[in-house]
Structures are given as C-alpha cells and as structure tokens.
Amino acid sequence: MSGRVSLCIYCGSRTGDNAAYEAAATTVGTAIGCRGWRLVYGGGRAGLMGRVADAALAAGAQVLGVIPRSLMEREVGHRGLTELHVVETMHERKLMMAEHSDAFIALPGGIGTFEELFEVWTWRQLGYHDKPVGLLNVDGYYDALLDFMRQTVEHGFVSDLQHALLQVQTQPEALLDAIARLTPLATEPDDYRRI
Ligand code: AMP
C-alpha cells in the first residue's frame, strides 16, 4: 500500500467510562499522522472525536472536519483543523465525509457513532461504494453488538457476506493495517449522488 489514505473516523462525542477508549483514540490519531494519512471526521472537539483530531494534528496529519452549523454555533466545533467545512444538515455532512474518505472506522461511541457506522456499512452492501468499513472493539466495548450481529446472520436477516464486510479488530494498528490492505489508492472525492 502506498499513497495517502483519507480515513473517516466515527466515535463518541463523549469519552466514556474507561481510560482505554481515550488511549485508543489517541493511538489511532497518532497512527494516522505517522502513516502520512488524512483524518476525516465530524469536526467536533468534544470527547473521543477531539482526542483523535488532536493526536492526528500533533502527529502532522491533515485533518478535515465536517460539522453542521447548529453544532458549530453551540461552539463544539474544533477550530484548529487543517480544513473545517460548516454545512447545513446532518445528511450533507455525512455525505461529504463519505465522499472525501477512502475507508471508514468506528471507535467506541453512542447513537451518533452507530448511525454513521451502519449507514456506510449499508451503502457498502448496496454497492454505493467499495470502501473498507471497520470497527475497533476497544476492551470489549462492542462485544454485545458483535454477538447480536452474529445472531442476525443465524436468524437469516444478514448474509455471511454482508456480515464479513465489517473488519473487526481490537488493536488500533491491526485495524489500520487491515484497512491499508483493502484500500485502493486515494483518488478524487466520490460523488454518490451520481449513483
Ligand atoms: P455519539 O456517538 O452519539 O457521541 O455521536 C458521535 C458521532 O456523531 C460522531 O462521529 C459525529 O460525527 C457526530 N456528532 C455527535 N455529536 C457531535 C458534536 N458535538 N460535534 C460534532 N459531531 C458530533
């Protein structure tokens, strides 16, 4: 793998109750910088989102944030990024994040993180994109969700193939290595509206 990967990260706007979550967010941000990759994320400075962005910036990464105006006005936008796009709606924001990314991973987070992860996983299943989608299962945070996902296959609502599209790892570097193996060379932003 060569070339710059733009990696989209979905993660909590809170830090959670386990120091391992913040440590993992920092490790991922630092690794993005060390690999010469770009971070694409929701543009916030709160929670794990802020930790990833700060670590990526400190490690020399370019960081693109995309935030809706309403959140920006509540002063939760990160003002130290390489690029911060302020958009009008959540839909616009998720589309722009997806178009500017070569791969997606989720770290621990809440409903916002789940929604974003499941959206890009669904888009992959529908063939709207062919970019890798991964999950960092820090300290077992996602064990229950992963058990449930296995049940959805057993109950016949999700195919083995769809299930296998999600790359799951417990260690940041292992997940980024898996993403690097699966990511085509970085290209121009995609335009899903043409599909
Ligand atoms: P949650 O997991 O519910 O904390 O939501 C986090 C996800 O939703 C992130 O990946 C963001 O894209 C988005 N999000 C939620 N809250 C904010 C915020 N205050 N600033 C920026 N993005 C946010």
**pLDDT, position 160:** 97
- Which 3 state secondary structure label does DSSP give 64? strand
pLDDT at 27: 98
For the entire predicted model, the pTM comes to: 0.93
Q: Is residue 42 part of a domain?
A: yes
Look at residue 120 and tell me if it is in a domain.
yes
Pocket of ligand 1 (CB under 6 A): 10-14, 42-44, 46, 49, 67, 71, 76, 109-113, 116
> What spacing in Å lies between the alpha carbon of 73 and ligand 1's midpoint?
14
All residues at 6 or more sequence positions from 114 whose CB lies less than 8 Å from its CB, including other chains? 106
Q: Which residues constitute the domain of residue 56?
A: 6-181
* Structural domain contains residue 1: no
Domain count, the chain: 1
Phi (first) and psi of residue 81, to 5 degrees: -80, 165
Question: pLDDT under 50 in the chain at which residues?
Answer: 1-2, 195
Establish if 191 belongs to a structural domain: no
Going by alpha carbons, the residue nearest to atom 8 of ligand 1 is 112
What is the reported pLDDT for 83? 96
Asked if residue 175 is part of any domain, the answer here is yes
Residue 190 falls within a domain, yes or no?
no
Distance 151 CA to ligand 1 centre (A): 28
13 three-class SS = coil
Look at residue 97 and tell me if it is in a domain: yes
CATH number for the domain harbouring residue 140: 3.40.50.450
